[in-house]
Structure 1
Amino acid sequence: MDLHELWSQIQVWARELGLSQIGVSGIDLSSAEPGLLAWLEAGFHGSMDYMVKHGLKRARPAELVPGTVRVITVRMDYLPENTPSDWLRREFARSLHAGEAVVSVYARGRDYHKVLRSRLQKLQDRIAEATGPFGHRVFTDSAPLLEAELASRSGLGWRGKHTLVLSREAGSMFFLGELFIDFALPETPATSAHCGQCTACMDLCPTQAIVGPYKLDARRCISYLTIEHAGPIDEALRPQIGNRIYGCDDCQLACPWNKFAQPSTVPDWQTREGLAGWGIATLLGWDEVEFLRRTAGSAIRRIGHARWLRNLALGAGNALASGRISAADRLALRQALQAHATHPDPVVQEQVAWSLARA
């Protein structure tokens, strides 16, 4: 099959598999290496030591998977199908409801690693049926790889000032995935950037983690602190985290391009019970068995019950100090915190004590 014809067919298969957009990138990412090294040298990776361990391999796909010639890049929108038209306003309002536990939108459904990987593997199978066996490898945020760089080079969007990939058609509310291949599909052209003079994402970040255009200090980022960071959270940053207990969407909610974010018909992204609109006190009541049951097949499960409690306890402390909750909610939060005052994990213990002292 002619490679241009094959590419046209691959796009059809991708749509049939629920993938929102695909592109093709080359593998020479050498121009991105200085920026990666500077980011690491600044310590912006925080405790993510694996970022240093893999180093420049992230910018060298052919070292990661020998024989790689091209990378098929994939965008998969994740807003739930029933997302209302005023979803941005509603999501912004959650941070004002001090007693509500706010989970990042992407994590309210099924674990995207599993969903996107499965669909990419099915796409690989269809390509193999048409071409015969070929060298390949599927990734979904699962390898040392400059995903955003590949996505922007292949035309899925451009790198926003918050460092996420932005699309004129879909904002930034989407997942990225990659299929490494050992044959030379025609590369798809990059798109131009459209952030202009806008600094909305930088201005709104609660912890000022976006330290400059296109520069993110993960050590200040709420997503990093609530998901990747295992120890106590810096006390200076705790009040700014508010009621965000898993991830943070604020830089995306501030971005004007997300008015074009696309709801997905994929059922895996539907919001699970307990992960939107529930109170912090209620979620603090989940024991480990309940936590594991509720988060089965979810990206949240990987942080474990203790870190989940740490995050909830922090949110409870901020709610108690906010002056924006009722007397009944205040009592419920204090009781929920006191139930974990002697938790075997010292990080949870310390966080609970800090939060109770804020009441």
Structure 2
Amino acid sequence: MSEGLKARLEAQALAEGFARMRITTPGAVPEVPARLAAFLAAGRHGQMTWLAERADWRGNPAALWPEAKSVIMLAEPYTPAEDPLATLERRDRATISVYARNRDYHDVLKKRLKRLARWLIAEAGGEVKVFVDTAPVPEKALGQAAGLGWQGKHTNLVSRELGNWFFLGAIFTTVELPVDAPETDHCGSCRACLDICPTDAFPAPYQLDARRCISYLTIEHRGPVDMALRPRLGNRIYGCDDCLAVCPWNKFAVAAQEIAYSAREDLAAPRLDELASLDDAGFRARFAGSPIKRIGRDRFVRNVLYAIGNSGDRALLATAERLRDDPDPTVADAAQWAVGQMRTM
């Protein structure tokens, strides 16, 4: 019965648009607590205090919901249609991480997970809880335990069937389902993801220091970014895809099926001067429904000004100069820095 249910569940998952489904148990990641503790002890989480506040749950999925018997892990591709690093050379334009160039994946993916969870309840009874990145769940470790892929040297999940351009969703359930074998590491001697990192955010293979990661610096970090790191941001204003883009396993990446993951035309390579001119209302209007909205206008414009300072484009000098008196001190600081950078070039 359970094998038949699992087969039908997988067929339903594929029909919903997921690319892969694998199953594990909440207790299948005993290595996570020690790894998380070491990460936190080294201070590598930076300002992400929520990682420490819920470390017990994040380190032990079984404690999150003790009644759960199975964890259904699902992969949904968001593979870009174009080279995600192409805009890095267009210095008057902004580079936005692939996942943030359209709708917020949390909303899109959660709806799909809920539909699949409802199907499971109708077929087998029991209870379910769905998670997409916002709860204290170690999705990548569970993904490896379930056999979806392995955590590569860049710490992201890599699949021999999907590359590394995919989102993870989890359904915890009280229904007991047959588990899949965990995936093993297939990185070999490759260092592509480590060597391309602009800020040297990997102290060692399989280790990340978020305090140096551009995704962290442009999204999670509040206040001014360290002076030494600002030039390394280039024109990346929200996230960074460098380590994902160079992974050789992407030769097996499959196209994204969800239209909401296709890049909006105005976010594929937006002009820096246009973005820097946004006030709060303009920012909210432009990024409604986007994950970018979460960081707010001030942090966003701070990032844009760092990109302007790195552009070497004197045509952007006036844009930076206008923001030196911005009411937000971090924006004003970024504008002053950008002006100084361009005047010395």
Sort the TM-score into its range (normalised by shorter chain). over 0.9
Q: CA deviation at 1:287?
A: 2.4
Q: Deviations over 1:277-326 (max 9, x none)?
A: 22211211222222211211111110011111000000000113xxxx4x
Q: CA deviation at 1:149?
A: 0.2
- Specify which of 291, 297, 303 is matched with residue 305 of structure 1: 297
Alignment pair present for 1:91 and 2:77: no
3-state SS of 1:184 partner: coil
Alignment pair present for 1:182 and 2:165: no
Q: Is the 8 A contact 1:102 1:243 kept in 2?
A: yes
3-state SS of 2:22 partner: strand
Mapped partners of 1:66, 1:151: distance in 2: 19
3-state SS of 1:274 partner: helix
3-state SS of 2:198 partner: coil
Q: Deviations over 1:181-223 (max 9, x none)?
A: 1121011111222100011111110000011010000000000
Q: Is the 8 A contact 1:44 1:219 kept in 2?
A: yes
Q: CA deviation at 1:338?
A: 2.3
Q: Is the 8 A contact 2:192 2:243 kept in 1?
A: yes
- What are the ranges of 5 or more consecutive residues in structure 1 without an aligned counterpart? none
Residue equivalent to 2:112: 119
Q: CA deviation at 1:71?
A: 0.7
Q: Is the 8 A contact 2:77 2:257 kept in 1?
A: no
Mapped partners of 1:225, 1:118: distance in 2: 29
Mapped partners of 2:193, 2:340: distance in 1: 32
Mapped partners of 2:334, 2:251: distance in 1: 37
Q: CA deviation at 1:273?
A: 3.0
3-state SS of 1:71 partner: strand
3-state SS of 1:24 partner: strand
- Give the share of equivalent positions with the same residue, in percent: 41
Mapped partners of 1:30, 1:357: distance in 2: 50
3-state SS of 1:175 partner: strand
Q: Is the 8 A contact 2:140 2:156 kept in 1?
A: yes
Alignment pair present for 1:223 and 2:215: yes
Residue equivalent to 2:330: 347
Letter in 1 for 2:120: I
- What are the ranges of 5 or more consecutive residues in structure 2 without an aligned counterpart? none
Mapped partners of 1:102, 1:259: distance in 2: 23
Mapped partners of 2:244, 2:223: distance in 1: 26
Alignment pair present for 1:264 and 2:256: yes
Q: Is the 8 A contact 1:26 1:71 kept in 2?
A: yes
Residue pairs, 1:5-44, within 5 angstroms: 5-28=4-27, 29-44=29-44
Alignment pair present for 1:173 and 2:165: yes
* Matched length: 341
Q: CA deviation at 1:91?
A: 2.7
Q: Deviations over 1:132-162 (max 9, x none)?
A: 3x22111000111111000001011011000
Q: Is the 8 A contact 2:146 2:181 kept in 1?
A: yes
3-state SS of 1:296 partner: coil
Mapped partners of 2:12, 2:104: distance in 1: 22
3-state SS of 2:74 partner: strand
Residue equivalent to 2:191: 199
Q: Deviations over 1:312-343 (max 9, x none)?
A: 000000113xxxx4xxxx22x11222232211
3-state SS of 2:203 partner: strand
RMSD (Å) for aligned C-alpha atoms: 1.2
Instruction: Compute the TM-score of the two structures, normalised by the length of structure 2.
Output: 0.96
- Specify which of 124, 127, 141 is matched with residue 131 of structure 1: 124
Residue equivalent to 1:45: 45
3-state SS of 2:187 partner: coil
Residue equivalent to 2:310: 318
